[in-house]
A = this chain, B = another copy of it.
Amino acid sequence: MAAPMRDGYAPWLALCRVKGLGCVSFKKLAARFAEPAKIFSASRAELEQVEDLRGEAIQGIIDFRGWAEVDREISRIRAAGITLVTFAEANYPARLRMIADPPPLLYVKGELTHADDRAVAIVGSRSASDYGRRVARDLARGLASLGFTVVSGMARGIDGMAHETALNAGGRTIAVLGSGVERAYPAEHEKLYQRITESGAVVSELPLGTRPIAFNFPARNRLISGLALGVVVVEATEKSGSLITAALAVEQGREVFAVPGEVGASRSRGAHRLIRQGAKLVENVDDILEEIAPQLLTRGRAATAAALALPQNASADACKIFALLQESPRQVDEVIEQSGLAAARVLEILLELELQGYARQLPGKKYTAERTV
């Protein structure tokens, strides 16, 4: 018999423990199975139908027996006041959902809100100069006062300055960790960590207790850019992790901004390289707004729709389709293809959403997410 939790977060946590199952495979798996719980009761033949799913992952799903451990983790998560947000839920960050390898679930200490759809990341050197700190501060303050959530990695230097200034300006901020969210890393940011959990969120895709080893940071960086409309690199040496974040941002189709400095300053070399490669040179918040304005218009509409989340009892299939429509109006065929659901099921849900007033037909057989009642 399945424990009650097993139909909730347990299968998600279990999936994260399956060997050989990465985030790209997960996304395909999620597209095939409406409810993750069903993945664990699926036959080998059903699993083999999932595109590119590796034999190791299929075997791992079939052999999975770690439910007791998963239940213990759920207890720990609850005890630590941590929230889980799964890919199927409407409050999973809309922009993060669009990347090629979104995490199946996020551990959240604090709270993610729909306001965070308007987020800009500010990252940079841990050994920042006074100049770098000053520019990071000015940009974070400007963005926060305009209602943008400032995303960063809570590292020393530029990251810490960005979070702190956003909070001081009364804004929201998200720190993405390369370790478990239950603990501040670095430890000297304990007080900052507390403040962020109160007026924003500390987020990670890594299980509680994961140590901050360097290996985890590049994967973490994809979440920093994935959560944001764009990434601002304030200071970066030529080997800085911020350049990885910038490269990931480009892959994800996000804007990349870089702050110039004096020729000869080693901490500006990475930013200058980015600018030569096409990153936009940033002097002030207006330079950022100019570039992300087109996305904001689209996001603005999506955010309005997103604010009208489906009722708690909506099915995962309905959430998935609603999320697709929130991104942009789509034709029925596109919804079928992108949801990975059967055509009949898609038509049924679209009709249901329309009747309930959560979706509306547009000319050209397109559907859009919109509250009409």
Binding site for B on A (CB under 8 A): 131, 135, 259-264, 268-269, 272, 275-276, 280-284, 287
Asked if A131 meets B281 with Cβ closer than 8 Å, knowing A275-B275, A276-B287, the reply is no
Interface hub of A131, A262, A272, A287 (most chain B Cβ within 10 A): A262
Residue of B nearest to A280 (CB): B276
Asked if A281 meets B287 with Cβ closer than 8 Å, knowing A262-B131, A263-B259, A263-B260, the reply is no
Contact, CB under 8 Å: A269 / B281: no
Residue of B nearest to A275 (CB): B281
CA distance A263 to B259 in the complex (A): 7
Contact, CB under 8 Å: A283 / B269: yes
Contact partners of A263 in chain B: CB under 8 A:
135, 259-260, 282-284
Residue of B nearest to A291 (CB): B276
4 tightest A-B contacts by CB?
A260-B260, A275-B281, A263-B283, A276-B281
CA distance A131 to B280 in the complex (A): 23
Contacts beyond the supplied A260-B268, A272-B281, A276-B281: 11 A-B pairs with Cβ under 8 Å: A131-B262, A135-B264, A259-B263, A260-B262, A260-B263, A261-B261, A262-B262, A263-B284, A264-B283, A275-B275, A276-B287
Contact, CB under 8 Å: B283 / A272: yes
Contact partners of A284 in chain B: CB under 8 A:
263
Interface hub of A280, A281, A283 (most chain B Cβ within 10 A): A281
Residue of B nearest to A139 (CB): B263
CA distance A135 to B135 in the complex (A): 22
Contact, CB under 8 Å: B281 / A260: yes
A314 smallest CB distance to B (angstroms): 45
Contact partners of A131 in chain B: CB under 8 A:
262
A57 smallest CB distance to B (angstroms): 45
Residue pairs across A and B with Cβ atoms less than 8 A apart, 17 shown, are A131-B262, A135-B263, A135-B264, A259-B263, A260-B260, A260-B261, A260-B263, A260-B268, A260-B272, A260-B275, A263-B282, A263-B283, A264-B283, A272-B281, A272-B283, A276-B287, A281-B281
Contact partners of A259 in chain B: CB under 8 A:
263
Residue of B nearest to A277 (CB): B281
Contact partners of A261 in chain B: CB under 8 A:
260-262
Contact partners of A283 in chain B: CB under 8 A:
263-264, 269, 272
Contact partners of A275 in chain B: CB under 8 A:
260, 275, 281
CA distance A52 to B232 in the complex (A): 51
A92 smallest CB distance to B (angstroms): 35
A60 smallest CB distance to B (angstroms): 48
A312 smallest CB distance to B (angstroms): 47
Contact partners of A282 in chain B: CB under 8 A:
263
CA distance A259 to B287 in the complex (A): 18
A355 smallest CB distance to B (angstroms): 50
